[in-house]
Structure formats: structure tokens, C-alpha cells
Amino acid sequence: MNKNRFLSYRGKLVMLVLLVTFLLGGSTLVGAQPQITIRFQLHPDVYVSIPRSPNISLSVDKGEGANYYINDSITIRYKANRDGYVNLIDYLPDGTVNILVRNKFVRSGEEGRFTGRIYGPAGVERIVILFTPDEVSERDLDSFVQAPHQGSRIFGTRFATNRTHFQVLARIESTSLTIEPSDLTIDPGTSVILTATLKDGRGRPIQGEEIRWSANDGRLSTSRTTTDLQGRSRVTFYSPSQPGTVTVEASFSEGARWASSSTRTTIRIERQARYSSLEVTPSSFTINGGENIRLVATLKDENGRPVSGRTIYWEVSEGDLDKYSIPTDSSGKAIVYYYAPDVDETVDVKITAQFRGAGGLAPTSVEVWGTITPRVMAINSSLFYLDFASGAAKSNVDRLRYSGDIVFGFSLNDSYVLEMKPREAVEFEFNPGGLPQEGAIFLWIQGEPGGKAQVLVNGKRLETINVSRDAIAPGGEEEIVIPASALEEGSNRLRIEAGAGRNIRLQKVVVAF
């Protein structure tokens, strides 16, 4: 070896600290004897050139070259064949040098021991023993630490050396790696944040370690992240534009202390069904047996926009519908007519409108409850009627005359009414036959607030009605008794006139005896 090369190690020596202590946490071997810690990197070629003298023996309890794990205990034994002084020098893999035994007197043939514990770092640790007949000065010891193979230059022939070494290993601890969410479904072209958590075998978070990420499709915001104080690290996954299944893997590579671990999450790329809503108007109703009502279902998406071209399916517990399935129009509406059966007593009916889901929209349904009542009166030869509900005047009366406009709305049945302005009227004749004793008039009528309707028979005012603001509804008719004194034998005339100041709306008139 080049002598100058070894002398250059002296220039690398950095004296950090000279400590005399019974416990030095930064050292590999900690024992009961004082230690002096300095810095010097012992080259392997220098180490193997250190003479092994028969005058001093040196060994470790597991034998030369053995493996010791960090935190293992170790015993170093030495014995000289004459009286003298021992200095025991420990060269650590990271360049730290510990003086484990300093100028300890030993007698010939007596075994000396140094017992301590391995604290790392991992690597090859080398022990050199120096035996001299007299105590060694600090200066000479410093020179020997830097050039243990050149003892003769420092001490002449009055010294002996020996050496041994062993391998320090880090005890690998198990780790666990998890990803949240571990299983999920997202839409194409969207993103999600994935969180990996690294913990040791006892469930404690591991900080400052690198996590590597990979995905078989889509894109990740980064391929490497570092765990934080909670052992977590995050990455953003951007899904591909087409449906499918993507596997994202997070992995931690084995290091000096930690075992490797990995985990995966499965991400399904699907167009998810979005919320939809379905409304039906009217949401409840009352209807006479034998009548019909118009039902309007409206389908909307989660943003409240109408959905067209989707089929609404209908079911009914009593009566009949004109259609049992119908697609929504451009305004999201599907219209059906319900026909109530004739009943002898009041019957409840349930009508269900259902959207079964399609085109990325979730299914939804709504129930409408109605009440079917018996007809107001039995139809017989003494019944006279006038009805505008169909959009035209239908009747079985004589000499019908009316003024006003037939308009749509103002009724729960979504039908037509005759709207009359003040002083406009409906007038017709009816002949019950013979000399009637008493009768009744039934009016399905509605008007503006404050509106009134005057009812006259044969020119005699029977009653002035305050019309309701509510919509015209089955079962909400006005009833007026016709006394016998107001009737004439043969033909009689009925007049319904709008009062001053407000419009009124008439859907149906029935005169019964």
C-alpha cells in the first residue's frame, strides 16, 4: 500500500468530542467503561494489514464475522501473555471511533471482558486491540487510531495488536400499507384523491418514507410521495374517458429497518346513475264515480331540468287509465286520464307513476291518492244538466243561452270552464213535468276573490253565492234548494249571472227533482 495514502487519513480526522461517560447513546457498543468518541473512517485494506500478535488475543462471543442485530448484546474478550495496558478501539461503519477500553491494566493470563449492546448503524464493525507495557498518551493513541497498521512507527517493538470484526444488521420490522378508499366507482373523466397509510407491525405510523404509485390505466398526479407524521401520503387519480376497471397500486420498498409492503385498490369507471325526481299533479283528488281526471307526471334530473323521451309506467288500484305507459314529452311531462268506476260508497284509490331508470338516471316513483265518492244524485228522468268541462256546452236542457268565454283551467280535473264577466249569464229552460213540489240546483263554480253569482228561477232570485277562490273540485259543489213556490207547472227558466266587479267561472250545473 502507498504510505502517503494512509497518511492522508490524518487529514480526514475530525475530532468531534471527547467524552468520558458511562453511557454514550451515539455509539454502537455501550458498556460500563469510559469511552472516547472521535471520527475516522478505517479503510478495509488498512484493517486487514493490522498485525495479529500472539501476545494478545481478541474475540467476540459469536465469533469473527458473525451477524449481530441492532439491540443485541455482545461480549468482547481479550487476554495478554504478560502484564501491560490495553486500549480497545471500535471502528463503526459510519466513521465513528469509540475507545471502549482506555489504558486498562491487565495481568498475564487473566481474561478481560467488555460487555455492551449493539446500537448500529448497520454494516461491518471492526474492533482493534492495542497492548503496551506502559500507558499510552493521548497523542500516541490518536496517531494509532489513524494508522493502526503502523504501530511499529509509533511504539517501536513495545506493543502488540490484534483485530476482529462482525456484521451489524438492522432487524427488519414488518410494515402494513393500506389505501383509502379501497374500492370505489367513479365517472369517466373525473378524479379522486387516494390516501396510502404506512404503519409498522404495532400499528404506529411511519413518517418520511417513500411510497411509489402505479396504475394500469388513467393517470396519477405523481408516481412518488412521502409519508407525513400520520404515515399518510396522497395522490390524485384521473380516470380515463372510457368505462372499465383500473387497478392502482401503492408500494413501499424494503430498507435498512422496514420490510417492504404493497397494496392495491380497484376503481370501476362507470357512468353512474344520477338522481331523478318525479312529480304528479294533482297530488291528490276527490272524484265522483263515473267521472275522469287528468294526471300529469313530470320527470326531472338532479339539476331540476326536464327529462324527455323516458317512459313513465302507471298502475292503479281502482278504475282505469287511458294509458299505462307513456314517454315524457319535451317538457318532461307524461299525461294520462284516470276514469273512476261507479261506487255505492266512498273508495280510496292509489295511482302509482314509476320511472324505472335509464340513460344514467336512477329510478324513481311517486304515489297519488284519490277518493271516489258516489254520484251526487241518481240519474233519472228528473235530472237536467249543463257541462262545459269538455270545452263545449253539453246539456239536456232547452233554449240554452250563455255569454262569456270557455277557457281551460281553474279545476283540479284540468278541464274547461265558462268564464263570465260581470253581468254575463247562463240561461236555460227545463221541464220536470207536472207541478213539482221542490228541487235542487248544484253548481260547480269558482271565481275571483270577492266574486258573486246570482241564481234566479223564473225571475225570482233564490240566492247570491260568494264564489270560492279555490279550484273547482269534485265534491266541492254549491247546493241551492228550489222551493215549490218558485216553480211553475211545465217549463221553468234558470238564470245564473255574474255579479258586479269580478269574473266567475262555471264548470257544471245540475238541476234535480
From the number of C-beta atoms within 10 Å of its C-beta (0-12, 13-18, 19+), residue 224 rates as: exposed
Q: Are residues 234 and 180 in the same domain?
A: yes
Q: What is the pLDDT of residue 376?
A: 53
Question: Which of 155, 133, 130, 129 shows the shortest CA–CA distance to 83?
Answer: 133
Residue 506 belongs to some domain of the structure: yes
Beta strand extents in 19-83 (DSSP E only): 36-39, 56-60, 67-69, 73-80
* 335-345: b (≥16 Cβ within 10 Å) or e: bbebebeebee
User: 36: which strand partners?
Assistant: 99
Asked if 364 and 261 sit in the same domain, the reply is: no
pLDDT tens-digit series, residues 457-492:
999 999 999 987 678 887 778 899 999 889 988 899
What is the band of 35 on the pLDDT scale with cuts at 50, 70, 90? low
Residue 367 and residue 322 in one domain: yes
Is the bond leading into 121 cis (omega within 30 degrees of zero)?
yes
- Which among 349, 373, 397 is the end of a domain? 373
Contact 394, 386 (CB under 8 A): yes
Shared-domain flag, residues 184 and 258: yes
| pLDDT band at residue 187 under the 50/70/90 scheme | confident
In a shared domain, residues 47 and 163: yes
Distance CA 234, CA 178 (A): 12
Is there a single domain that holds both residue 202 and residue 153?
Answer: no
In a domain, 292, yes or no: yes
**Per-residue pLDDT band at 349 (split at 50, 70, 90):** very high
Question: What is residue 82's DSSP assignment?
Answer: S
- State the residue range of the domain holding 366: 276-373
Residues 466, 428 share a domain: yes
Q: Is residue 186 part of a domain?
A: yes
Average pLDDT value over all residues in the chain: 86
* Backbone phi and psi for residue 140, each to the nearest 5 degrees, phi listed first: -65, -35
Mark which of 149, 169, 189 sits at the end of a domain.
169
Amino acid residing at 181: P
Query: Does the pLDDT at position 273 exceed 90?
Result: no
Other C-beta atoms closer than 10 Å to the C-beta of 269 total 20
pLDDT for residue 68 is more than 70: yes
HEC readout, 114-133: EEEEECCCCEEEEEEEEEEC
Answer yes or no: is 44 within a domain.
Answer: yes
Q: What is the pLDDT of residue 126?
A: 95
**Pairwise CA distance, residues 274 & 286, whole Å:** 35
DSSP-based three-state secondary structure for 219: strand
| 142-145, Cβ contacts within 8 angstroms, sequence gap of 24 or more | 142/13, 142/38, 144/87, 144/89, 145/38, 145/40, 145/89, 145/97, 145/99
CATH number, residue 298:
2.60.40.10
Contact 249, 214 (CB under 8 A): yes
Torsion-angle region of 405 (φ positive above 0: left; ψ -120 to 50: alpha; else: beta): beta
| Per-residue confidence band for 360, with pLDDT thresholds at 50, 70 and 90 | confident
Across the range 424-434, mean pLDDT stands at 90
Q: Is 496 helix (H, G, I), strand (E, B) or coil?
A: strand
Kindly state whether residues 332 and 257 are assigned to the same domain. no
Among the ranges given (36-45, 316-325, 332-341), the one the predictor scored with the smallest mean pLDDT: 36-45
Is the pLDDT score of 306 beyond 80?
Answer: yes
In a domain, 261, yes or no: yes
Domain CATH for 161: 2.60.40.2550
Return the number of other C-beta atoms located less than 10 Å from residue 145's C-beta.
23
Residue-wise pLDDT for 207-263, tens only, equals 999 999 999 999 999 999 999 999 999 999 999 988 899 999 999 997 767 889 999
Give the CA angle between residues 139, 141, 143 to the nearest 5°.
70
Tell me the CATH number at 477: 2.60.120.260
**Main-chain phi, psi angles of 342, to 5 degrees:** -70, 135
The reply to whether 53 and 189 lie within a common domain is no
Question: To the nearest whole percent, how much of the chain has pLDDT over 90?
Answer: 61
- 264 and 315 in a single domain? The answer is no
Residue 431 lies in a domain: yes
- The number of folded domains in the chain is 4
Report for 357-361, 380-384, 448-452: range of highest mean pLDDT: 448-452
pTM value is 0.37
Q: What is the pLDDT of residue 380?
A: 46
As a whole number, mean pLDDT of residues 139-167 equals 94
What separation in angstroms does the CA of 136 have from each of 77, 83, 90, 119, 506?
20, 14, 17, 28, 127
Flag the least confident range among 195-199, 426-430, 472-476: 472-476
Residue 378 maps to a domain: no
Q: Rg of the chain's alpha carbons, rounded to an integer?
A: 52
**268 Cβ partners below 8 Å, 6+ apart?**
184, 185, 186, 245
Domain termination site, one of 249, 269, 289: 269
Residue 1 has a pLDDT of 36
Query: What does each C-alpha distance from 393 to 289, 402, 428 come to in angstroms?
Result: 21, 9, 12
**Residue 187 φ/ψ, nearest 5 degrees:** -75, 155
Residue 132 · residue 85 · CB < 8 Å: yes
User: Per-residue confidence at 300, pLDDT binned at 50, 70, 90?
Assistant: very high
CA distances from 230 to 175, 201, 211, 235, 369 (A): 14, 15, 14, 16, 56
Buried b (16+ CB within 10 A) or exposed e, 478-510: bebebeeebbeeeebebbbbbbeebbbbbbbbb
Q: Which long-range contacts (CB under 8 A, 24 or more apart) does 149-154 make?
A: 149/6, 149/46, 149/47, 149/49, 149/50, 149/51, 150/6, 151/51
Distance CA 400, CA 393 (A): 9
Contacts for 243-246: CB closer than 8 Å, 24+ residues apart: 243/188, 243/269, 243/270, 243/271, 244/217, 244/269, 245/269, 246/215, 246/216, 246/217, 246/218
- In terms of domains, do 445 and 469 share one? yes
Calpha distance 252→198 (Å, rounded): 8
Report H helices in 14-117. 44-48
Residue 296: inside a domain: yes
The Cα 7–Cα 12 span in angstroms is 10
Residues 286 and 241 in one domain: no
pLDDT value of position 11 = 36
